[in-house]
Structure 1
Amino acid sequence: MPPTPLAVSRPDLVRGIRRWDFVALIVNITIGAGILGLPSKIYALVGAYSLVAYVASAAIVAGIILCFAEVSSRFNGTGGPYLYARQTFGPLVGFEVGWMLWISRLASFAALCNLFVDYAAYFWPSVGAGVGRAALMAAIISGLTVVNLVGVRTASRVNNLFTVSKLLALVFFTGVGLFFVDWQAFSFAVAPTYAGFSGAVLLLIFTFSGFDVAAIPAGEIEQPQRNVPFALFTAIATVALLFLLVQVVCIGTLPGLATSQRPLANASEQFMGPAGAAFIAGAAMLTALGTLNALMLTGPRLLFALAEQGQIPAFFGALHPRFRTPHVALLVSAALKLVLAISGTFIYALTLSTIIRLGYFALTCAALPVLRRRHPAQPAPFQVWGGGAVAVACVALCLWLLSNSAANEARDVGVAAVAGLGLYFLSNRRKSSSTG
């Protein structure tokens, strides 16, 4: 008999996300905006050793994914890292993870929405600022809200379409570009500095993030205890190979890579002519839009999960009577995303999201040995060989990454965390008063 999951989902949620739907979701979230700009920044830091940095960062992320895979295999409810932290470390820590994770999703969505509009302005300059910019953002958010409101199957089908289109665009870039690569451009004669190489790995760790968020809607995934680990490994292997090939093409076709602001567009122009820049601008819009759809699917489920556990008002856990989707959480999240998108900036929001992610990466990795000791007679369906050592190493890595965070952004994340604590204790006081 298979082990009983530590937390189960509500029976009225529709398990409409199948195995390959889930693989597509993770790929879609992970292939975000970073790959469109990072090749030049990584090359400026470590030159051709950027290829080694990609391999090193993928290996580090694989260790974190191993911890996520084992911990997630014990659960089949909605919430992802929030659910793991709550069951392992208690309701207070769980609430903080859920609260901060939701904030990070809002910030990530707002950042990507700004990026989409910036690239759209390449074709339609009127949407680059002012009323046109706000109108386009409103149209994007409204459209994605409707898609995700009418049902999780519809949202996953749209996600699949974006993922396939995005992959085809990047595969076309690498497939054509590899024929034009100048292999003499790859020089490994001068070893990179420690600071340069570690800085490159840090940037790439951020780029590989996304797998963690995809576990949030596990309550709507078919056989999550099997499909979550499978999807995590399949997706990250696909993404790592694609990122590595993109870097190879950029190094081998663009002589001024280190100073390029739009490396893929500039590289495309080298081997596809003037149409190359337009092609990449379109691909960037497609990439951003696909990731926005994935974030619209996963983010509101955090509010739903917090309400499901009784840590925020119950109406956030309401399901639409016809579509069986968490419509209140979806609409509230959409409204806040619109406000943040119009008023926010790309870099600041992205940095906040990254710092928050490092925190719950560490907590999820730390949960692995804790759950093993707590449930010795109930092993996880998926077990990591040497899991305790892997978890310790990953926690240490996350703490090291956090120690290199910018002071201003770290401060603001702390302010948001304290605000969450205030909401938590206020909700508990009201709950106690109503039962007193």
Structure 2
Amino acid sequence: MKADNTPTGDDTKSGSPDRTPGKGMFGLPTATALVIGSVIGTGVFALPTALAPYGPISLVAFVLVTVGALALACTFGALSKRVRGSGGPYVYARDAFGDFAGFLNAWSYWITAWAGNAAIVVAWVGYVEVFWNTGHAKAWSIVIAMVGLWIPAVINLSGVRNMAVTQIVTTVLKFVPLLFMATVGLLFIKAHNFGAFNASGTSAGAAISAAAAIALFSYLGIETASVAAGRVRDPQRNVGRATILGTVGCAVVYILGTVTVFGTVSNAALQKSAAPFTDSADAIFGGRWAGQAVAVAAIVSGLGALIGWTLIVAEMPMAAAKDRLFPAAFGRTRKGVPAFGIVSSTLLASVLTAVSYSQFEKVFTTLVLLSVVTAVIPYIFSAGAQLYWLLTRGRQTRWPHLLRDCGVSAVALAFSFWSLAGSGYQAVYYGLFCLLLGLPVYIWLKAARNEYGETPVIPAGEPSMTLAPAGPPQPVAPVDTPVVHTT
């Protein structure tokens, strides 16, 4: 790996325009806060309920998922040093495998982001309803969800600086209470609350695999620093650090916090809980004040995650739009943020949330599994891109380092496939259907490019990062004539 800032490989394929150094950019603290703020949303606050049907065996799955998440974090950190610019998995896949792979990653990740926002806001509603709409009337739940989706959209549309400040504040406010529950709460664990080790009634392997697919949702977002790399100051140094630091911090809080909830709330009660961390705090301290304090932390946490994801949901499509691999409207910016992408994605998340409340009994789990399926596809391509780079361009790397990096990437790739398999047939069906819906879009975009003599439309004032199209066909030189290559 290079330690300097010199582009390596095909860095010119980056999907992000150059930015003035220091202007409207994130340092390491903000980049780390973006990772933690995007990873720790309300998902962790609702996760114990989603894992409760499997019992404590899901903690084994959580540990395995953490190992896989760390492997992915190292993979994203390494890739960010080789391919510069915003876009994360999109630019990595395009650099390694071409335009179509890049488009599939951008499309799949875009679905992940707005479907994940729907899942986050559903969990967020559960904690708001600790104070209001305690009867969980669906109509009011939908209204609360809409408020939770659109406040972050407005904050992002107001400018990058407001988003960055809000992200740091909400990350601190939610991380401290979670860390408290994950440490002090361990002293109040009672063994009988855990229940049967494998409560699912299935084999241990099936239970671990299914629980892992749900647990993976809690780590979605570890790649956000690489997705927004074009906004990070000194990205070759800070993106990898922010990714790994954020993932490790989240892992500690996640595992210990879930153990605390499992050990302080009975398994039967946990399966029915809408706010498991609130119930755990009430069980530890008695009364309702502690649970309400945790609910406030969960509400702040959810808003922070939604603020981060609302930016990320539009960042990758913007990078692809610059390369004419996504509709041009996604490349338009307002106050430095992709306004069309934010508004359109928030609208889609709003529709999905409303439909889910009316169609699915387990709203959170259904949305989680859909998000996991569409997220795992970019993870597979990213791990594959890293392996491809190591095997084709990393030959000058020392053998011990090459073997280490290949091993980490192989773990990340295997983990991603395992998570996909554990998502279940229904989630894979919906995820694959959503992914293939992008094919007509790609055909339309490809037809609008030079292949058919049409001029693609690029937003006014926005530079294109597309590679220059090839010139006219050159005559083939005779066999006995030396060919002179020019640049």
Q: TM-score range by the shorter chain?
A: 0.7 to 0.9
When normalised by structure 2's length, the TM-score is 0.79
% identity of equivalent residues: 25
2:229 to 218, 233, 245: 218
Give the 5 Å matches for 1:157-306. 157-182=165-190, 193-256=204-267, 259-262=270-273, 263-275=276-288, 276-306=290-320
What amino acid is aligned across from residue 35 of structure 1 in structure 2? V
Cα deviation for residue 51 of structure 1 reads 5.0
Is 1:93 equivalent to 2:96 in the alignment?
no
| Mapped contact 2:90–2:105 kept (Cα < 8 A) | yes
What amino acid is aligned across from residue 145 of structure 1 in structure 2? A
Looking at structure 2, the residues matched to 397 and 389 of structure 1 have their Cα atoms a distance apart, in angstroms, of 12
| Mapped contact 1:68–1:212 kept (Cα < 8 A) | yes
Query: What CA RMSD, in Å, does the superposition of the two structures yield over aligned residues?
Result: 3.1
Looking at structure 1, the residues matched to 394 and 421 of structure 2 have their Cα atoms a distance apart, in angstroms, of 34
Cα deviation for residue 411 of structure 1 reads 1.7
Looking at structure 2, the residues matched to 331 and 187 of structure 1 have their Cα atoms a distance apart, in angstroms, of 45
Q: Report which stretch shifted further, 236-245 or 141-150.
A: 141-150
Looking at structure 1, the residues matched to 397 and 155 of structure 2 have their Cα atoms a distance apart, in angstroms, of 39
1:4 to 7, 10, 13: 7
Kindly provide the CA deviation profile for residues 208-264 of structure 1, in whole angstroms up to 9, marking residues without a partner as x: 232023421111111111111111111111111112221342344335477443332
Q: Which runs of 5+ in 2 are unaligned?
A: 358-363, 457-487
Q: Report which stretch shifted further, 355-364 or 145-154.
A: 145-154
Alpha carbons of structure 1 residues 227 and 385: separation in structure 2 relative to 1, 3 Å:
farther
Looking at structure 2, the residues matched to 117 and 186 of structure 1 have their Cα atoms a distance apart, in angstroms, of 26
Q: Report which stretch shifted further, 136-145 or 267-276.
A: 136-145
Looking at structure 2, the residues matched to 343 and 99 of structure 1 have their Cα atoms a distance apart, in angstroms, of 21
Q: How many residues align?
A: 431
Residue 414 of structure 1 aligns with which residue?
432
Is 1:342 equivalent to 2:354 in the alignment?
yes
More helix by share: 1
Q: Report which stretch shifted further, 356-365 or 176-185.
A: 176-185
| Mapped contact 1:17–1:152 kept (Cα < 8 A) | no
Q: Secondary structure at the match of 2:38?
A: helix
Is 1:17 equivalent to 2:26 in the alignment?
yes
Cα deviation for residue 63 of structure 1 reads 1.6
Looking at structure 2, the residues matched to 129 and 33 of structure 1 have their Cα atoms a distance apart, in angstroms, of 20
Q: Report which stretch shifted further, 307-316 or 385-394.
A: 385-394
What amino acid is aligned across from residue 277 of structure 1 in structure 2? G
Alpha carbons of structure 1 residues 271 and 315: separation in structure 2 relative to 1, 3 Å:
closer
Is 1:434 equivalent to 2:434 in the alignment?
no
Residue 329 of structure 1 aligns with which residue?
341
Q: Report which stretch shifted further, 244-253 or 176-185.
A: 176-185
Looking at structure 2, the residues matched to 244 and 94 of structure 1 have their Cα atoms a distance apart, in angstroms, of 34
Give the 5 Å matches for 1:350-369. 350-369=368-387
Looking at structure 1, the residues matched to 168 and 266 of structure 2 have their Cα atoms a distance apart, in angstroms, of 35
Alpha carbons of structure 1 residues 225 and 124: separation in structure 2 relative to 1, 3 Å:
same
What amino acid is aligned across from residue 165 of structure 2 in structure 1? R
Q: Report which stretch shifted further, 254-263 or 414-423.
A: 254-263
Q: Which runs of 5+ in 1 are unaligned?
A: none
Looking at structure 2, the residues matched to 174 and 426 of structure 1 have their Cα atoms a distance apart, in angstroms, of 50
Cα deviation for residue 107 of structure 1 reads 0.6
2:408 to 381, 384, 390: 390
Looking at structure 1, the residues matched to 307 and 337 of structure 2 have their Cα atoms a distance apart, in angstroms, of 15
